[in-house]
Chains A and B, each alone.
Chain A
Amino acid sequence: MSAAWAFHCLQLSPDADLRTIRRRYSELLKINRPEDNPQGFQQLRAAYEICLAFAREGAEQGDLPAARDSAAGPALQNEAEQHATERPAVALAAGLPDDSANAADAIDVVDAGTPAQDCDAAIEAHPPEPAPRPRTSPTFIEVDNLSEAELARAPAMRPAAAVVDELLHVDARADTDAVARWLVQCPEVLSLVTRDAVELELLHRMTGGARLSVRGLEVLGATFGWRQLGFERRLLQQGLAPAQLDTVLQGLGQARAEAEFTAHLAAGKALGNAGSWNFGAEGQLRDLQRLHAKRGETPRFAQALLPGRVDRAYRLIQLYTQRYGASSALQIFGREATAFWTSLHPENGINRRLYRLRLSQVSLIVLLLYLVLPLAYLFPSTLSGAQKLDALGQWSEAWLLRIWPIVLAVVTAHALLRYYGQNRERLGYLKQQALRALLPWLAPRRALPLQLGLAPLLIASGHFVGTALPFALGLMLSSLFGVAALSTALIGGIAVGALLSPHWPWPASNTFIPAMVCICLLIAWTVDWLSGTGAVRQQAKQDAQWQQPAR
């Protein structure tokens, strides 16, 4: 069903203007009446719509439609129209038996294949005869109980800017239905003539940063149809430039997101899973506010080094997305910041930024240990200054040559294993199994007796009474506050080292190495754990909190 067919069917040349097409259509319509000849009417209508679209486009572009390839099919104004007119064409082209049968039955349309001839036949068969139109006395009058004075009495239309000013003022009131009540009475919004201007002005204001309440936005959205299909097209028809449209839509989205955010904070309710936040719902809302306040800037890398920070930010973003949608979350947390926190969370795969973060975290912890351990060793001892210095030197040498390379190797291997995919699942499984076996023993309740049981070993090594014991006790205490696994491993490592070496703690002997390996493994794991990726912990929590949608 091409444009050529359509014009041929209406017996017009392809450069016919709108007026001619309509006149021709009205002539043919009087022969192919919809109630008498439904088939013929449908063909005529399809041809008419194609011709109209073609002529309108030609009028817009200012060139002759005839110059274009008419066989290529009509260039229609919108998809819907194309849909409407092209569908029957498909059915006809497919040659369905019902179609050909019906077409044959049709009075003025003989064969679907050569519809042009049908129209010719139809016109010749029934030449249109002019007949007088019926005359009736005019019975339609202007409404009688509403005088011209009513129009004059109607309040003079204010400029759109003033209306929007008032609207924003009304919305600022705490009253929830103020906007709804105001809208019903606002003559400028009521009038279909001025409401477009008001709407455009309002959208521009919102693009400029004007804020509305959620309820206000809802009411306005319902009034102006901001959530309806075709809203963008309507704005374009109202004379908005396409470039402006984007800004306006963004402004509308931003206003909606801000309104939701404000309402959420005011309600003081957590997004979900508030139990894991430091201070319940309040802590979560504070986190939300902090993230919102810094939405404009890319977060500094150092912020991510704080334990648990990445996980909390990422989970907040996720929860917010679940509740209010991705576009709202982007508006609230900022595009840059959202990308930053998301990329740093291992759930989304290893990337260079995450690797850098891991390395920095591990280095930081190892550095801390490097500083703390000698202090614990040196200060309570009775060594002379020179001996202390000597011991520190040996300690540093051991760090540089043995511990640090091992730490790096372990972290790198771990990252590479995850990065190169196929072992990721197996690794996760192994980790899960190990944790399942170990965790009960490393839990604070059991770690303390275990560590106390190791204490005699430390004492038996002879060097520890004045030096390592306070340090070990400190670790034991720390086990009470949650890092039980770390302290147990440290004490265990030291104890093993002490058993193997008579010169513990700082010998040149290689027996030192197994203890250090033990420590480093534990460090890597702890870093993982602190930054919230411990698969078991995470999974267990999620399972308990909400049902994941099946994928």
Chain B
Amino acid sequence: MIVGIDLGTTHSLIGYWSEDGSRLLPNALGELLTPSVVGVTDNDEILVGRSALEQLPLRPERTVAAFKRYMGSARETRLGKRGYRPEELSALVLKSLLADVKAQTGELPREAVVSVPAYFSDAQRKATRNAAEIAGIKVERLINEPTAAALAYGLQEKHDEAKFLVLDLGGGTFDVSLLESFDGVMEVHASAGDNFLGGEDFVDLLLEAALRELRVDAAGLQPGTRATLRARLERLKCQLSQHGEAHAALPLGDRTQDWSISEARFEQLAQPLLARMRAPIERALRDSGTRPQELDQIVLVGGASRMPMVSRLVTRMFGRLPLRHIHPDQTVALGACAMAGMKSRDHAFREIVMTDVCPYTLGIEISQTDSHQHVHHGLFSPIIERNTVIPASRVARYSPMRDFQAQLELNVYQGESPEVAQNVFLGKLEIPLPSRRAGENPIDVRFTYDVNGLLEVQALVVSTRSEHQLVIEQNPGLLKPEEIQRRLAELAALKVHPREQQANLALLTRAGRLYEEHTAALRQEIGAGLLQFKAALETQQPRQIEAARRYLGALLDQIEGESSPLPP
């Protein structure tokens, strides 16, 4: 079985392709969305998902969220005794998802299709693949998130020829893809995006505004208070999506203040973020040479697209209402499952082919001599232009700067600026050259970009036919293979909190958090409920535990002032 995984900034989902389409699997708590949060308890047990999210305000120094933003970097987060790389944190989330699959289907999947933001760089994609390897699963295919969403949308689309634009505003990234479907071919024409624009930024905005209006110094906030505030404001943001105005009780140190904001004011605050959404949309349209009138549909994807201001922006830009999945935060996962079905050669996909593009230009650093014999260094020479259909392989011929040059340094970059300084460095290859004149010593550089969006660089010294291959693993943001193995072993040794108890643990942590947050009468009520639940746990009778859990959950929901902790 190949599973499809949406490894998101705030939430992750897993599912597979079944007879009747994509099927997402719930976690131990019965929720489809597992928060991408990892924590370590006081007894050094690893917590993943809802229980870790509940622990975030209580023990911010032992819990971490939104680590997807650091994928592809060497940043380590310290949790308890050990430092964790972003790959390892992702691997822990993946492991928990895989355990959910095993609990429900009885078999542990070995292969997976993982979705990544279209605008993820080579290093970030490799880091994602390494994370899966550490989690003990083989990544069969990396699929771009908007492409996955488009696949989910395109499968239900009945028209034969259609052009549509997919906007994916997730927790941490914003992606735009322009697709065309005809005769069962789904073709991505252009991708663009912003890796640092998502729902989290909107929450930050609310936090900033609240602190400013309540005249609280942001620097003086405890990390725990900050996490609580963020959680409250996250809920406030979701409420704003449904009602024109919402308020939240914000615990600020010793006092609790009520803060309210209207949807209109929120939109006004978010203008800079909304303005940033325009640039990728325009670029995708421009790159594909598509006029807005030619688009048949605009599809909104991603949890953050629930915010009315996002659909309003799109409505204003295109002069029509966009489409959206009933559950926008599941769309990508559904697409990933469909891709998994495609990979496992499900008969449903015999007549469907999907082609994707590489979202940015890839090339090498060169020096050039101008007409005044002045040498310019640090120029970017593109080899694969952005929005080339992948897989793609391109060759370009270069020659050394000087006669009898002994060595050539090939620096690989990605980006759109004519100067490499503004582009992203991917890796370096040193090629020894035969002693010849510059003109007679050409080098063929071949870039091969595969369907997963991973780059392979080959350099061929034409005169000697000696070939060199770039392994972009000198990048400090990436783990070496042996290191992956080591970390795999280390993670296996870590104690993960038993899956069966996760629902109970999440509830206990949540009750503990609410107990700390509230005072007087409410606190007593929570305390009583907690005691009752603990008593039920001691009986070890599943039915009694279940009943007590439901009771306490309802109580806590009531206290938190809404029917469910997160809208589905």
Bitwise interface map of B from 316 to 335 toward A, beta carbon under 8 Å scored 1, else 0: 11111111111100000000
In contact, A551 and B374 (Cβ under 8 angstroms): yes
How many contacts between A and B, using CB within 8 angstroms? 159
CB neighbours (8 Å) of A29 from chain B are 185, 353, 355
Bitwise interface map of B from 346 to 359 toward A, beta carbon under 8 Å scored 1, else 0: 01111111011000
In contact, A131 and B347 (Cβ under 8 angstroms): yes
Chain B residue with the shortest CB-CB distance to A80: B385
CB distance from A514 to the nearest CB of B (A): 48
Cβ of B293 within 8 Å of any chain A Cβ, yes or no, is yes
Distance of A27 Cα from B490 Cα, bound (Å): 49
In contact, B316 and A191 (Cβ under 8 angstroms): yes
Cβ of B460 within 8 Å of any chain A Cβ, yes or no, is yes
CB distance from A155 to the nearest CB of B (A): 10
Stretch in B64-72, B115-123, B393-401, B533-541 touching the partner: B393-401
CB neighbours (8 Å) of B323 from chain A are 140-143
In contact, A45 and B389 (Cβ under 8 angstroms): yes
Cβ of A134 within 8 Å of any chain B Cβ, yes or no, is yes
CB neighbours (8 Å) of A22 from chain B are 182-183
CB distance from A152 to the nearest CB of B (A): 11
In contact, A131 and B348 (Cβ under 8 angstroms): yes
In contact, A38 and B451 (Cβ under 8 angstroms): yes
In contact, A140 and B153 (Cβ under 8 angstroms): yes
In contact, A34 and B300 (Cβ under 8 angstroms): no
Cβ of A54 within 8 Å of any chain B Cβ, yes or no, is no
Most chain-B CB neighbours within 10 Å: which of A83, A192, A194? Answer: A192
Cβ of A453 within 8 Å of any chain B Cβ, yes or no, is no
- Give the size category of B's interface with A: 35 or more
Cross-interface CB contact of A146 among B182, B312, B326, cutoff 8 Å: B312
CB neighbours (8 Å) of B320 from chain A are 151
Cβ of A383 within 8 Å of any chain B Cβ, yes or no, is no
Chain B residue with the shortest CB-CB distance to A133: B351
Asked if A90 meets B451 with Cβ closer than 8 Å, knowing A145-B311, A192-B317, the reply is no
In contact, A146 and B311 (Cβ under 8 angstroms): yes
Cβ of A35 within 8 Å of any chain B Cβ, yes or no, is yes
In contact, A143 and B156 (Cβ under 8 angstroms): no
Bitwise interface map of A from 145 to 158 toward B, beta carbon under 8 Å scored 1, else 0: 11010110010000
In contact, B350 and A88 (Cβ under 8 angstroms): no
In contact, B311 and A143 (Cβ under 8 angstroms): yes
In contact, B153 and A84 (Cβ under 8 angstroms): no
Chain A residue with the shortest CB-CB distance to B390: A34
CB neighbours (8 Å) of B315 from chain A are 146, 150-151, 154
CB neighbours (8 Å) of A38 from chain B are 391, 450-451
In contact, A41 and B351 (Cβ under 8 angstroms): no
Distance of A466 Cα from B560 Cα, bound (Å): 113
Chain A residues 133 to 176 lying within 8 A of chain B, measured CB to CB, are 133-146, 148, 150-151, 154
Cβ of B26 within 8 Å of any chain A Cβ, yes or no, is no
In contact, A184 and B271 (Cβ under 8 angstroms): yes
CB neighbours (8 Å) of B327 from chain A are 139
Cβ of B242 within 8 Å of any chain A Cβ, yes or no, is yes
Cβ of B286 within 8 Å of any chain A Cβ, yes or no, is yes
What count of chain A residues pass the 8 Å CB interface test? 59
Chain A residues 94 to 110 lying within 8 A of chain B, measured CB to CB, are 94, 96-98
Distance of A190 Cα from B390 Cα, bound (Å): 33
Cβ of B296 within 8 Å of any chain A Cβ, yes or no, is no
In contact, A34 and B355 (Cβ under 8 angstroms): yes
Chain B residue with the shortest CB-CB distance to A26: B183
CB neighbours (8 Å) of B444 from chain A are 91, 94, 96
CB distance from A281 to the nearest CB of B (A): 32
Distance of A142 Cα from B328 Cα, bound (Å): 12
Cβ of A426 within 8 Å of any chain B Cβ, yes or no, is no
Cross-interface CB contact of B393 among A23, A42, A97, A135, cutoff 8 Å: A42
Cβ of B423 within 8 Å of any chain A Cβ, yes or no, is no
Chain A residues 459 to 485 lying within 8 A of chain B, measured CB to CB, are none
Cβ of A33 within 8 Å of any chain B Cβ, yes or no, is yes
Cβ of B509 within 8 Å of any chain A Cβ, yes or no, is no
CB distance from A16 to the nearest CB of B (A): 15
Chain A residue with the shortest CB-CB distance to B320: A151
Asked if A184 meets B275 with Cβ closer than 8 Å, knowing A38-B451, A143-B311, the reply is yes
Bitwise interface map of B from 458 to 495 toward A, beta carbon under 8 Å scored 1, else 0: 10100001010000000000000000000000000000
Asked if A42 meets B391 with Cβ closer than 8 Å, knowing A30-B351, A154-B315, the reply is yes
Chain A residue with the shortest CB-CB distance to B450: A38
Cβ of B223 within 8 Å of any chain A Cβ, yes or no, is no
CB distance from A78 to the nearest CB of B (A): 10
Asked if A129 meets B299 with Cβ closer than 8 Å, knowing A91-B444, A143-B324, the reply is no
CB neighbours (8 Å) of B319 from chain A are 151, 191-194
Chain A residues 14 to 28 lying within 8 A of chain B, measured CB to CB, are 22-23, 25-27
Considering the complex of A and B, which 5 residue pairs feature the smallest CB-CB distances, nearest first?
A26-B183, A134-B348, A192-B292, A91-B395, A131-B350
Q: Which residues of chain A have a CB within 8 Å of any CB of chain B?
A: 22-23, 25-27, 29-30, 33-35, 38, 41-42, 45, 80, 83-84, 87-88, 90-91, 94, 96-98, 129-146, 148, 150-151, 154, 184, 187, 190-194, 225, 230, 234, 237, 551
Beyond A34-B355, A134-B21, A237-B289, list 10 extra A-B contacts (CB 8 Å): A26-B185, A26-B353, A42-B393, A137-B156, A140-B325, A151-B315, A154-B315, A191-B317, A193-B319, A225-B286
**A–B pairs, 14, beta carbons within 8 Å:** A26-B184, A33-B353, A45-B355, A45-B389, A88-B394, A91-B446, A141-B323, A143-B308, A145-B242, A150-B315, A151-B319, A184-B274, A192-B285, A225-B286
Q: Which residues of chain B have a CB within 8 Å of any CB of chain A?
A: 21-22, 141, 153, 155-156, 182-185, 241-242, 271, 274-275, 282, 285-286, 289, 292-293, 299-300, 306, 308, 311-313, 315-327, 343, 347-353, 355-356, 372, 374, 385, 388-396, 444, 446, 450-451, 458, 460, 465, 467
